């Protein structure tokens, strides 16, 4: 009887540990991270943060394949983002390299090489990344980034320069082509 009790107790500990590990963050940090998403998606998204070594820490588990990252900007700046699960390995790599002190250009080159070499997955066409950033949280603005691999801006009739709050394409014609869509107004339901 004792061996069964010991096995049962060990199994109980293993079942409890993941739930405890998923809740180290406070509600304010979680709400800030979720603020990049349209309100209809917030209740079911996962929220993560990164420690000083660039390791991901789960703040909240969600029911859909969207992850939101808590504010990683140096205060008083503010930046939160949300992305589909397929981009989490890329986000993890970028966080690790930022923690190592690499420059943004070096990180971009490493990510591009990892995608080209098959070490990181390519996001599916139309993957949407939600970003909210600014000098501080009060001034932060929303932007949606939609992946359009290899699409040429000229053929789509899109500008390639930021112009007066209208959508524009970055990296036109490359595998990293994406549409930048500024969000005006509130992302709250019913606004």
Strands 168-170 and 141-147 turn out to be unpaired
pTM: 0.79
Percentage of residues in the chain having pLDDT higher than 90: 66
- CA separation, residue 66 to residues 69, 84, 91, 98, 156 (Å): 10, 4, 13, 22, 28
Contact (CB, 8 A) for 140 and 148: no
Tell me: the pLDDT tens digits for 49-84? 999 999 999 999 999 999 999 998 887 899 999 999
Length of the chain: 191
Among 6-15, 52-61, 163-172, which stretch is predicted with the lowest mean pLDDT? 6-15
Break the chain into its structural domains and give their ranges. Answer: 2-183
Q: Are 124 and 86 a contacting pair, CB within 8 Å?
A: yes
Closest to 176 (Cα-Cα) out of 125, 107, 110: 125
Give the three-class secondary structure for 28.
helix
CA dist 32 and 29 (Å) reads 5
């Amino acid at each position: 009887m004792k061996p069964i009790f010991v096995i049962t107790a060990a199994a109980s500990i293993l079942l409890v540990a993941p739930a405890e590990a998923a809740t180290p963050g406070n509600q304010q940090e979680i709400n800030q991270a979720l603020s990049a998403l349209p309100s209809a998606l917030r209740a079911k998204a996962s929220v993560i943060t990164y420690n000083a070594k660039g390791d991901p820490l789960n703040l909240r588990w969600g029911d859909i394949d969207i992850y939101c990252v808590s504010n990683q900007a140096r205060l008083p700046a503010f930046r939160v983002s949300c992305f589909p699960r397929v981009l989490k390995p890329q986000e993890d790599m970028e966080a690790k390299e930022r923690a190592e002190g690499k420059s943004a250009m070096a990180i971009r080159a490493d990510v591009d090489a990892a995608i080209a070499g098959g070490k990181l997955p390519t996001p599916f066409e139309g993957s949407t990344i939600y970003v909210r950033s600014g000098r501080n949280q009060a001034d932060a603005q929303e932007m949606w980034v939609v992946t359009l691999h290899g699409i040429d801006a000229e053929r789509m009739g899109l500008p390639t320069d930021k112009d007066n709050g209208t959508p524009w394409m970055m990296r036109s014609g490359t595998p990293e082509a994406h549409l930048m869509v500024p969000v005006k107004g509130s992302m709250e339901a019913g606004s």
